[in-house]
Amino acid sequence: MIVNGLMKKLIFLGLFGIAQFSFSETLFVKYGWQIFRNTGDARSLALGKALTAAGKGSSASLWNPANLVANTKKSFTFVHQSRFAGVVHSDLLSFPIHKFTFNPVGLILIHEEVPGIPDTRYALLDENGDGKLNGNERLDLKNVTEFSQHQWGTYLNRAWLLRGVIFGIGVKGVIHQLGNHTGTGFGLDTGLRTLLWKRVQAGIVIHDVLTSWLVWDNGTKEIVTPRISAGISGKYDLPLVPLTLELMADFIVETEGRSMSEYFHIGSLAEYFRMGMEWTIKENVQIRFGRNETGMLSTGLGLVWSDIEMSYALQYEPETSSLGNSHLLSFSINPKLIVGKISPNR
């Protein structure tokens, strides 16, 4: 009852906030909610984030709210991520809530940080006063300062199973701090997932339903338009060897424009297609490969037991990029295992 009431209040506040924008000037952006696209566990990164129909674990709801039902172990998950050779750091904590409701409810907490950003706005020795770096002009290093970027995200979602189809809804909020400025926002995701035939699943999700918004303390309002992902996944057992192959693929459609009446934009297949492949050896060792929608390749390794899972992922940057590779480490554990160790008699 408590969780149900909270979900209804958050959805109402989101719809109320969206209605307020009809009377205000807005700015449509494409990357305002990247904190929810950049995060995830090591399995998601290693598989190119193609988890619309293949997500499992408590953090998989970020890719499709209906994935929450696949978290059968009721596990806690902690993720640490270091991207672009350590420039960006993020942490994620996710866990399901089963105490107050029959249908599963998931909660995900995210923090992302970019420290030590140079601020050169007041360091230019501008001789001609045009505000540009010209000729012999230079920066006075004594006047170069630093600031940081922090983002805190919360994702609360619920899933229902109805006649073989899993429905999910996710409510998300974000606090974005950039230097001395702060922005707050709200968004909504919805999706479904179903079994097409034996060991083949399909899913579809709409991220940022009715748009997601971010309001800054200086009055700027940023709007992100909806994003649709459709995916399919299937498993196949290799004969005579203890190997299981799972293949997954997502196709993405983004909406772009300056008004709500703009059309759906579909880019090239390579730009809006992501895929992953996972080899499972004797149910305990998983080797993963993936490609995300930006063309970045990734690989990873997972060690899986009944109550514990450890995963590592590496995402490769193109040779023409100087940003460096990204590393991600995640750890999941069934809380019943911890309780059993603390209170073995019980």
**What CATH number is associated with residue 317?**
2.40.160.40
Number of domains in the chain: 1
Structural domain boundaries enclosing 333: 2-342
Q: What's the pLDDT at 136? A: 66
Mean pLDDT of all residues in 58-74: 80
Of the segments 12-16, 177-181, 273-277, which one has the largest average pLDDT value? 273-277
Segment of 70-74, 106-110, 137-141 carrying the highest mean pLDDT:
106-110
Q: Are 256 and 265 in contact (CB under 8 A)?
A: yes
pLDDT confidence bin for 137, thresholds 50/70/90 = low
pLDDT greater than 60 at residue 87: yes
Take residue 132 and report the two structure tokens written for it: 């540009």
Residue 134 has pLDDT above 60, yes or no: yes
pLDDT reading at 123 higher than 70 = no
Read off the pLDDT of each residue in 207-233 and give the average, rounded to a whole number.
90
